[in-house]
Amino acid sequence: AEERLSKSEKLTVVGELAAGVAHEIRNPLTSIKGFVKLMQQGMVNENFFDIILDEFNRIEEIINEFLNLAKPQEIQLKKSDLKKILKDVETLLESEAHLQNVQIYQQVEQNIPPITCDPNLIKQVVINLIKNSIEAMPNGGSVNIQAIKEETNVLIKIIDNGVGINEARLQKLGEPFFSNKEKGTGLGLMLCFRIISQHKGTIIFQSKENQGTTVEVRLPLS
Ligand code: ADP
Ligand code: MG
């Protein structure tokens, strides 16, 4: 199964997103209100503080991701070393991967020329994709990151052997708040699509349920 996601309608307008944010924030707010009321009535349990803090963190996360999407990001193109970008990302995610029993492998071809991109934005994309891979392997596994030079593009491939994505869900990737995770925001891929589209690149997802997912990101060589 394969789905091409350069569709501009998936880069939804901020207004529509804002309605979604409001909706997403309502749940943790309701929960916080409930616990504060209980405490007001004299019911105090140590766990309440942890739950309330978790709910606040959830709200903070949703707002941070939303701001990332909503603020007009100036893209700052410069000649960048893809190998270094991927190495930096690996370093950032090392401890998280280790905690989840996930091994990250990198196979970067030696002949990849410098690419013109915004290295910080491309890092954000790769971080989001690898995080999704790690989260798709609750019992551990491996993520293989490849960089391959094609005729007019550089291809970055992220391959995991996680839970995979079924056909129906594959069509919905990139829609805001589409998440199957209890703690997910469903904003990560939307940001990825936007950044890659700003770079005139493409993202393709291929996936088989219970086998794994391969994401192909292509960035044009200038
Ligand atoms: P979030 O990670 O917050 O749920 P994303 O936009 O990053 O939001 O991803 C949206 C959904 O796409 C995820 O909840 C998950 O269901 C699915 N998904 C993305 N990448 C993968 C992957 N590598 N393996 C399995 N499912 C994935
Ligand atoms: Mg994610």
Q: What percent of the chain has pLDDT over 90?
A: 66
- Taking CA atoms only, the protein residue closest to ligand 1 atom 19 is 132
Could you read off the pLDDT of 150-171 as tens digits, one per residue?
A: 999 999 999 999 999 999 999 8
Checking if the pLDDT of 206 tops 60, the result is: yes
User: Which residue of 58, 179, 185 sits with most ligand 1 atoms within 8 Å of its CB, as the best mutation to test the pocket?
Assistant: 179
Whole-number Å distance, alpha carbon 179 to ligand 1 midpoint, is 6
Most confident of 2-6, 31-35, 188-192: 31-35
Confidence of residue 222 (pLDDT cuts 50, 70, 90): confident
Nearest alpha-carbon partner for 105 in 23, 22, 161, 167:
161
Looking at every residue in the chain, the average pLDDT score rounds to 89
- Taking CA atoms only, the protein residue closest to ligand 1 atom 13 is 179
Could you read off the pLDDT of 109-145 as tens digits, one per residue?
A: 999 999 999 998 999 999 999 999 999 999 999 999 9
Checking if the pLDDT of 9 tops 60, the result is: no
Nearest alpha-carbon partner for 174 in 21, 2, 24, 9:
9
- Taking CA atoms only, the protein residue closest to ligand 1 atom 16 is 180
Tell whether pTM > 0.90: no
Residues with CB under 6 A from ligand 1: 128, 132-133, 136, 160, 162-165, 173, 178-181, 184-189, 213
Whole-number Å distance, alpha carbon 76 to ligand 2 midpoint, is 24
ipTM surpasses 0.95: yes
Could you read off the pLDDT of 70-85 as tens digits, one per residue?
A: 776 778 999 999 999 9
**Distances from the Cα of 9 to the Cαs of 75, 99, 110, 166, in angstroms?**
21, 37, 37, 22
The CA dihedral of 95, 81, 161, 139, to the nearest 10 degrees, is 0
Q: Which residue has the tokens 């993202």?
A: 203
Q: Residue 200 in contact with residue 218, Cβ under 8 Å?
A: no
Characterize 56-88 residue by residue with b for buried, 16 or more Cβ atoms within 10 angstroms of its Cβ, and e for exposed.
Answer: eebbebbeebbebbeeebeeeeeebebeebbeb
Nearest alpha-carbon partner for 137 in 93, 179, 100:
100
Could you read off the pLDDT of 22-62 as tens digits, one per residue?
A: 878 988 999 999 999 999 999 988 899 999 999 999 899 88
